[in-house]
Structure 1
Amino acid sequence: MTTPANLLRVEKGHADPEELAAITAVLLARAASQPAETSSDAPSTAGWRRLERQSGFRPSHSWQG
């Protein structure tokens, strides 16, 4: 169970209550600004490329840019 005492943990150093409140406000603001997940029938694709499946050289005129 998450209680206010263990909601955030400082891994290294010491954080004042004001610093913890500031980072909590930033994290909550970022979470609130994320768009709601939409359900679609289209499959999702990865936003990154698997470099081990790419050739080492791609010419400048390649269509795979």
Structure 2
Amino acid sequence: MTIKVLRGNPTPEELAAALAVVRARAAAAASVAAAGAQPSPPDAWSAPERLVPRPLPQPGPMSWTRAHWPA
């Protein structure tokens, strides 16, 4: 891997910090790809069941009567 500075005059500490970030990201991406990690399941806060705890009324001739009444 080659990193070239095109503009500016970074200090050695700034270059070392940038290189550490690039290497850490590359290592993390390689370990995820090598492990074949599955994406984590969504947590409960994003689950649709939390927002609608009961089943929605199914379409039908009288479904409009059940639309706003609690179960």
Task: State the TM-score bracket (shorter-chain normalisation).
Answer: 0.3 to 0.5
Greater relative contact order structure (CA < 8 Å, 6+ sep): 1
What TM-score do the two structures reach when normalised by structure 2? Answer: 0.39
Larger Rg: 2
